[in-house]
Structure 1
Amino acid sequence: MLVLENIISDRGSRYAVAGGPCSGSDEAAAFLKELKRRKKFAKATHNTWACLTEDAPLKNDDGESGAGMVILRMLEREDLRNEIVVVTRWYGGKHLGGDRFRHVQEAVRQYLDAR
């Protein structure tokens, strides 16, 4: 499991990104459970994620509408299969509008560069 914390900060919101091997929904659930064992991630506002498996693409917005699809599209562009990428956001009290999608993209880019 690769975790990059405090990678983006904007108007009080903070972002992190994590990822690792994943070949299906059971492994995705296990990955999220392991990530949330870190109290900081369990208390996050959103843990959005996506995984491009051999069977089907998987994604979850976790309340951050559209963010799972942003992650999934980036994984498709990279043809990165069987690896989950989770973008975590701690809400800072101010709405970010469309900037939140830019931050999700940047978080995924940083993960891809670090792996």
Structure 2
Amino acid sequence: MKHPVDVHVGKRIRHRRWLVGMTQQQLAEKVGIKFQQIQKYETGMNRVSASRLWDIAAALSVPVSFFFEGLSDANNVAEADYQSDVPVDILKDKEALELVRSYYAIPETQRRRLFELARVLSDVA
């Protein structure tokens, strides 16, 4: 049976990998394992050891603590995904991840203008 913490950590691995545009194969190669093992970690089927999590964090350029963010209680991982209309964990929303990746692909001056436009539009809504 999957432990809720393992599922949470696996989801955080998958979302960070996706955010940086890395495939399971690429992450596996950086960590020195088979991509099937990454699949098992991401689904929570296999637990990630501390040393392996350290290697994954380095490969994904995040601190190890990143994988535990949003985990308020090991017995209550299935907390509400949304408070009002804003996701508690933005990494759970694939559309938001795509938006963030696209946003950072825009040159900085244009990105600032887009940010200001979004701020104005959100105040109108």
Q: TM-score, normalized by length of structure 2? A: 0.27
Q: Which has the higher contact order (CA 8 A, sep 6+)?
A: 1
More strand by share: 1
Higher helix residue share:
2
Q: What TM-score, normalized by structure 1, do the two folds share?
A: 0.28
Which has the greater radius of gyration?
2
